[in-house]
Structure 1
């Protein structure tokens, strides 16, 4: 799967407003959506998140999300003692219907 482009903030800044974008993608090819907090995206690139979620999605969306959090947490631990809050949600999308 091709990772979707994400907006990256220009500087760290607590902001209560989420960044929302509507990137163009082929919906027929999308198998899942990865939603995450900055604690996830500060440590994993979109391509890495898609790769991990794809690898673990056969075991369920919850399991894939847990693995994303564990991967980010492992990287946070390597760079220092403290880490940001990490949230990940993997939403499996229904298979597209065949056209008649």
Structure 2
């Protein structure tokens, strides 16, 4: 895990990133024949935060089980976030504080 920027000065709702990490670990566990690693990077600048969870092997299913997380983001951040999912990464950008 790597954090950079003004991470101590930006508000993030409690436990916001935990579901993404749990989802990633769960998907890696299904790939028992291939060892995998997770790289987590958090960068804060002004009131914007970028969270990136990268997996060393393609094992993420972009829309599976993430609807509840997306609903939570809609409630807390409205249109002030961007979430991108691929088979190897989850990228979340939070723009400004939450609602």
TM-score computed with the length of structure 1 as normaliser: 0.34
User: Higher helix proportion, which one?
Assistant: 1
Q: Which has the higher strand share?
A: 2
